[in-house]
Amino acid sequence: MKIAVFGKKIDKLFFTSCKTLFKVLKNNGVEVIIYRPFYEFLLSTVKMKPEVDGFFDDDNPLPKVDLLFSIGGDGTFLHAVTYVHDSGIPIVGINSGRLGFLADISQQEMEVVLADVFNGSYKVQQLDLISLETDVDLFGKKNYALNELAITKRDSSSMITIHTYINNEFVNSYWADGLIIATTTGSTAYSLSVGGPIMHPDSHNFIITPIAPHNLTVRPMVVPNNVEITLKVEGRDSKFLASLDSRSEILDETVHLKVKKADFTINVIKLKGHSFFTTLRNKLMWGIDKRN
């Protein structure tokens, strides 16, 4: 088996578990390819030198592997997606801190999960992505997001107007601090924080969520993800910010944005005992009030 390991920085509380991870991989004869900046972090900060068989980074693309382990939180997982891209390589999200929606495997259950991985006792879930097309090709080959596209104002205190069309039919001009087009996976991220609904990852929809809209009657809207959404932004400040997950670029009001479902999916490993609803209860602390 050939496994890639991706990470950035990990908390001290995960140092021992990290050493255990590489020990288990070695004992099972796994060929390990590691993200070079993470390897350097392990050398300098964790004071460990894992036995690896190769590296990948921005200059050296990820080779074909059986799985990719993302070590960190949901932000690290989203960064890992940019290296997997359309290769179909399944991602295993191991959380080195608090429980995440994407990186949902805790360090306490890591060794049990590794045994399930080696035994093939897992399912692969396919997650839809969003893609963004602009006439200036701003994001290049990384013009996609697993969570959301966010259009927001920059330095000005004035709101912006986002004219929105679905399949070339005018829907609304959102006068707000910004607008989020989220996938169902992203429904528990930025969109949720500004009042968007929670969607099951297996439902194939987009969520259009305004950020602090001026009109109180303007609410989040769910649409099927087989539509094409066109956005045109204007405001007192001619510059605004477009973000795909954690990647942001500055655009001006002459740029039109076209949003649709990406033509590939991301494969995520789902293990026994893990479900979306269990993660919701734990992450959002539903039912923690003993009076319920």
CATH superfamily to which 130-261 belongs? Probable inorganic polyphosphate/atp-NAD kinase; domain 2 (2.60.200.30)
| pTM score, whole prediction | 0.92
Q: Classify domain 2-128+265-284 at the CATH topology level.
A: Rossmann fold (3.40.50)
Nearest to 89 by CA among 265, 274, 276, 271: 265
- What is residue 223's three-state secondary structure? strand
pLDDT of residue 292: 63
Please state the rounded mean pLDDT for residues 35-46. Answer: 96
Spell out the residues 6+ positions from residue 275 whose beta carbon is closer than 8 angstroms to its own: none
CA distance 61 to 6: 13
pLDDT of 286 higher than 80 = yes
Q: For residues 105 and 71, is the Cβ–Cβ distance under 8 A? A: no
pLDDT of residue 99: 64
CA distance 128 to 200: 12
Nearest to 235 by CA among 163, 149, 148: 163
Tokens of 218: 């303007």
Of residues 57, 58, 74, 116, which has the active-site annotation?
A: 74
Q: What is the pLDDT of residues 80-137, one digit of tens each?
A: 999 999 999 999 999 887 667 888 888 888 888 888 888 888 889 999 999 999 988 8
* DSSP letter assigned to residue 105: B
Between strands 229-235 and 160-166, the pairing is antiparallel
Q: Is 74 a catalytic residue?
A: yes
pLDDT, mean over the chain: 92
Nearest to 10 by CA among 52, 48, 64: 48
Tokens of 176: 């707000």
Q: For residues 229 and 221, is the Cβ–Cβ distance under 8 A? A: no
Tokens of 150: 């966010």
Amino acid at 65: V
- The angle formed by the CA atoms of residues 149, 155 and 160, to the nearest 5 degrees, is 55
Q: What is the pLDDT of residues 153-192, one digit of tens each?
A: 987 778 999 999 999 999 999 999 999 999 999 999 999 9
Q: What is the pLDDT of residues 220-229, one digit of tens each?
A: 999 999 999 9
CA distance 186 to 282: 17
The ranges assigned to domains in the chain are: 2-128+265-284, 130-261
Q: For residues 141 and 165, is the Cβ–Cβ distance under 8 A? A: no
Token match 């382990």: residue? 69
CA distance 136 to 114: 44
